[in-house]
Amino acid sequence: MMKFLRKHRHWLMVVIAILAIPFIFYFVQRPDYGAMRSDRFARVYDRNVSMLEAQQTARLFDLAQALGMSDFVQSLTAGAGQNQNQAYAQFILNLLVLRHEADRLGIRPSTSEVADRVRNLPAFNGNGGFDFKKFGDFVQNGLAPRGLGEEHIEQLVRDELCLNQIKQLLAAGVSIPEAEINANYERSYEKLYVSVIRFRPADFEKEIKVGDDDVQKYFETHKTELKSEEKRKVEVVSLALSDDQKKLTGKERIEILQ
Show pLDDT as tens, one digit a residue, over the chain (258 residues): 444 444 444 444 444 444 433 333 333 334 343 443 568 888 888 888 889 888 888 999 999 999 999 999 999 988 777 788 888 999 999 999 999 999 998 999 999 999 999 999 998 988 888 888 888 888 888 888 888 889 999 999 999 999 999 888 877 766 678 888 888 888 777 887 888 888 888 777 777 788 888 888 888 887 777 777 777 888 887 777 777 777 777 777 767 666
What pLDDT is recorded for position 38? 60
Looking at residue 33, its pLDDT comes to: 37
Please list the alpha-helical segments (H only) found in the chain.
2-7, 9-27, 51-66, 70-76, 84-105, 111-119, 132-138, 150-171, 178-189, 201-205, 212-221, 223-226, 243-246, 250-257
Residue 19's CB: how many other CB atoms inside 10 A? 9
**Residue 114: what pLDDT?**
92
CA distances to 73, 172, 238, 257 from 247, rounded to whole Å, are 91, 87, 19, 13
Cα separation, 168 vs 161, in Å, equals 11
Cα(16)–Cα(118) distance, integer angstroms: 67
How far apart are the C-alpha atoms of 246 and 248, rounded to whole Å? 6
Sign of CA pseudo-dihedral 169, 172, 173, 178: negative
Whole-prediction pTM: 0.52
CB–CB of 126/119 below 8 Å? no
Whats the size of the chain, residue-wise?
258
